[in-house]
Amino acid sequence: MPGAARGEDPVTRIGALDIAQALGQAPPTPEQQAVIEAPAESLLVVAGAGSGKTETMSARVVWMVANGLVQPQEVLGLTFTRKAAGELAERIGRRLRQLESVGLWREVTGDDGLDLTPAVSTYHAYAGRLVSEHGLRLGYEPGARLLSEASCWQLAQEVVEAYPGPLDAVSIAAGRTVPAVSTVVDAVLSLSGELAEHLCTPDALADHLGRLLSDWDRLPDGEGRKASLKPVLDALGVLRQRQALVPLILDYQRAKRASESLDFADQMSLAARIAGAFPDVGRAERRRYRAVLLDEFQDTSEAQLVLLRRLYAEADDAVPVMAVGDPHQSIYGWRGASSTTLTSFPGHFPGPDGPARTLPLSTSWRNDAAILAVANVVAAPLSAACPVDVAVLTPRPAAGRGQVEAARLDTLEAEAAHIASWLGERLGPWTGPGSAIAAASPPEPRPTAAVLCRKRSQFTLLAETLAAAGLPVEVVGLGGLLSMPEVVDLVSFLHVVDDPSRGDHLMRLLTGPLVRLGPADLAGLHAWARSLGPGGESGQPDQVGLVEAVDRLPPPGWQDPHGRGLGDTGRARLVDLGRRVRRVRELLGATVPEVVGEAERVLGLDLELMAQPGRPVADARVHLEAFADVVTAYAASSERPNLGGLLSWLEVAEDRERGLAAGQVPPVPGAVQLLTVHASKGLEWDLVVVPGLEEGTFPAHDARVAGREDGGWRVPPPKDKAWLSGLDSLPFGLRGDRGGLPHLDWATCPDRQELAARIESFALACGEHAVVEERRLAYVAVTRARHELLLTAPVWATQRTPRITSRLLDEMREAGVAHVSTWAEMPDSRDEDLGNPRLAEQLSLPWPARGAPDPALARAAEAVRAARGHASSASSAESGMTTTPAAQPPARPGVDEPFDEWSDLDREVAVLLAEREASQQRSEVLVALPPHLSTSSLVALADDRDEFAGGLRRPMPAAPATAARRGTAFHTWVEQHYAQAAIIDLSELPGSADETACDAEDLDTMKAHFLESEWSALSPVDIELPVESTVAGISLRGRIDAVFPRQDGGFTVVDWKTGAPPTGRRAEVRRLQLAVYRLAYARLRQVDPALVDGAFYYAATGETVRPDLPDEVALETIVAGLTGG
């Protein structure tokens, strides 16, 4: 059907209800129908949580195509993640195929071979295309490289470390602490990103700060106490430090230009500049697209708003734009999003008669009734203050009642125990793969569950308590991962290896299970460090650090004049630690993943974890493996990766989760996922727990609790100095969304006394603004629950005063929407003997730990001694030598005596040879499969079942994977070819499983082969798509390299390989990977698997291989046979 002329609104031939009936779908609600059939003009759709916005958006496109308003290729859809873009594109494509099959639409195929499918991509990918096509007009090469977060960090760090400027002197003169290098790097990146997001320049920032400082310096003090001027003096110091950062920001921008690189913020800012400077770009885009759909509009930045407005609204031939979002879910302000973009949409994208219309979607298809009642209570103040109408959420037809429970417990420990009990009652014992009682048949469907924390500091106690209760726990996100004890030990060791000044990290090792140094030996080591300094025993400030003191230990028997020294056992343990550190330092020339892998092996962390009684072997290394993935991702995305850069990046990533915030881990039935509320957006679970609902934690602010005269407790109004504190904030006056932020009127101040008073008022206004942001976060948290929700708060935490229950929880309880199961009483503030019971309990532990070993560990140690003795005897017999008992190693080298590196290596080799001989005689290795397998693990299982089982039973460090690094480099280049930036989460890195990869010098050859292949000219609908699907009761995870649309409406899943095509059994086994990908993609996109095929592309030879793939039934049979299902 030909499209209608622009500006015309033809008589509707078919309605949304008719289309739904013809396609066999449920009829849309009246609200959905109003959105779907809205006139062809700009429209704001306020879609509440779980209200079916993706379904409505796709139905809108189908309705417009069916009625001749647009052709499919004239539709542009933008969203934030490739996953969301792929889901929207697939849903639209599937509906259009159905529409054609029932005769309601006929695809118009042109002779020019144009792609007649809707263009659906991410906001950044769309901006990247504009920059690639038109950036040269602003002096930017079209092939400019997109920097990853890790690469940005490394480049900024190099700029900061090379800067000769006066930042230290400025800080000292201003009475401020000289910031650490990592703090300055983070500030440079944050300010550079904010400037780009708000279309501002470093020069404009310098001018603004210079004018502000000049005016404030000239103000008289005014009448009053000098102490009351402290807010002004503090702000002046902060702003002078920030002014000193402007040259660093300029240097960072010049470094990017010199390397022909851009970051994500640059990409969006340049696209907005192009749209404003060259009107022909907008005309071309408006001719290309006649309808634009914008998803998750509440998360857009000012630069994105300006770009889209310039392209599609600021012209006589404006294009209808439909923005969909929820102002209550605008929670990413700290990441560049502006809370005002959605509410200002009607004015920026007007209709023919004024501001754009607003329509609601308020039926929740996710949450039961009780959950929605809580959500509406939390959202009520937000809705009342919102400039656009936001409807109250209503339950879907036949929705369940649901359950919401509120509890206040005496202490943090009691809160964690209550959570574990509540979840345990609903989840029951874990019986999935990898459990001690794995079922012979597929288990019954079990609920999904999550604990959503406001702060990552809550993770450790909760994870330990849940694990002690027998519940499998998955910590999601880098910040949580870095709090796990084994990862903390590993990172501390790496700091000691990299930087001799990091005595803080050395102390964890000295007092931990690795060294177990006692107080006397710690004092002796400190005395030795003092004696090594220039001042000798006087202990001058430039004394030698503890790390260097371990490298240069005193001779046996040394004591200082006060009698402090090292005992023989303590010194032996320090000798052992020093040798371990030196062993890893010798490998610093290797790749970062190899250095980290060697550090893990030297520490023996994997063996320690697997030796823990009652812990499934398959689960023992889960956090270490996740950390290894993070390290590999850093190395792959960084230009010049090194250990120091990794550790510096991790310190900031722990706080900001830089580069990983967009990653999502799908819910795991029967397990408990532990993550932050920010990371939960876009996900949902059957059971959700929100702990820590107390003032200061949720909502987060500086809650200084004080008593009241009536025996109650109070907290002062929250304060937030915003851009008047820290180094990394852009003054509100330079932000494009300043109209929605608190205002500090400093230009009319007569003196500093008045300015100080206005600063105090500004801090209070910002504090209230921050609480509103926290309310939005709470709304997101509670709407993640499908059926049951638990809300908890402690009375006593780590402070000396009790914690006041969150205003958010009090509102829910007072509204009667939450059932109170237990509610601990608050103590009387007038009680003179009042104290925190947690602090009153004296926790006594022996130091160093001398607990009796577990009997199972003792038996295991004896078995290792016996194996070593057998191996040594066998080796000696073959060589004609004899072995004496004195030659046998101790059960745990480095604890009772230091080990010699070469003799220890000889013993290890002997044990490994004995193990290999024993493994060749073994007929079967019995281990429990983990609850998840990667596709590469499935291939390994099919290739050699016994070797795979042995690897599960005792994982060993992998050999240096140069082929994997080349595979990763090729995958990264292909992504750049398609102009899409990968978001690598905690899963398999692309290319890491490639075999027989070519030599490094052949990378150019692989690129040339690819450019000559059929794939280079095609446009993929998905790139680096993480998938997970259950086959024969086993959850299989993987990452699809690329998916291409077929002319018949189907899809081709392609896996890039950098080696040559395998033959024989290896080729037969390899096709399993592609078969799993095909089935997982078909399930993800809800299409018939017959519409999906697969291909391997081998870049070394330029060949494309399309193997015959087993269908779903055959694949189930194969996997069941491999896994014993």
Binding site members for ATP: 47-54
Task: Assign residue 78 a region (left: φ > 0; alpha: ψ between -120 and 50; beta: otherwise).
Answer: beta
What is the helix (H) or strand (E) element at residue 546, kind and residue range? helix 546-551
Q: How far apart are CA 787 and CA 447, in angstroms?
A: 10
Q: Which two tokens stand for residue 858?
A: 């003792």
Q: How far apart are CA 974 and CA 992, in angstroms?
A: 15
Q: How many residues does the chain have?
A: 1125
* For helices 149-161 and 622-637, angle between their N-to-C axes, nearest 10 degrees: 70
Q: Which two tokens stand for residue 993?
A: 């499983």
Under 8 Å between Cβ of 238 and 725: yes
How open is the CA angle 299-304-306, to the nearest 5 degrees?
130
The DSSP call for residue 721 is: -
Task: Select from 386, 384, 372, 339 the least CA-distant residue to 773.
Answer: 339
Determine the straight-line distance between the first and last CA of the chain, rounded to whole angstroms: 52
Q: Which two tokens stand for residue 494?
A: 């790496």
3-class state of residue 520 by DSSP: helix
- Within 10 Å of residue 231's Cβ, how many Cβ atoms? 19
Task: Select from 506, 526, 740, 489 the least CA-distant residue to 624.
Answer: 489
The DSSP call for residue 728 is: S
Q: How far apart are CA 1010 and CA 1013, in angstroms?
A: 5
Q: Token match 């939450």: residue?
A: 818
Q: How far apart are CA 540 and CA 849, in angstroms?
A: 33
Q: Token match 């704001």: residue?
A: 44
Q: Which residues are annotated as a binding site?
A: 47-54
Answer whether the bond into residue 848 is a cis peptide, omega within 30°: yes
Q: Which two tokens stand for residue 551?
A: 């490298």
Q: Which two tokens stand for residue 490?
A: 């590993």
Q: Token match 């602090």: residue?
A: 839
Helices (H) and strands (E) in the chain, counts: 40, 25
770 φ, ψ to 5°?
A: -65, -35
Q: How far apart are CA 873 and CA 910, in angstroms?
A: 10
Q: How far apart are CA 958 and CA 703, in angstroms?
A: 49
Task: Select from 818, 819, 908 the least CA-distant residue to 864.
Answer: 908
Torsion of CA 580, 586, 590, 596, to 10 degrees: 10
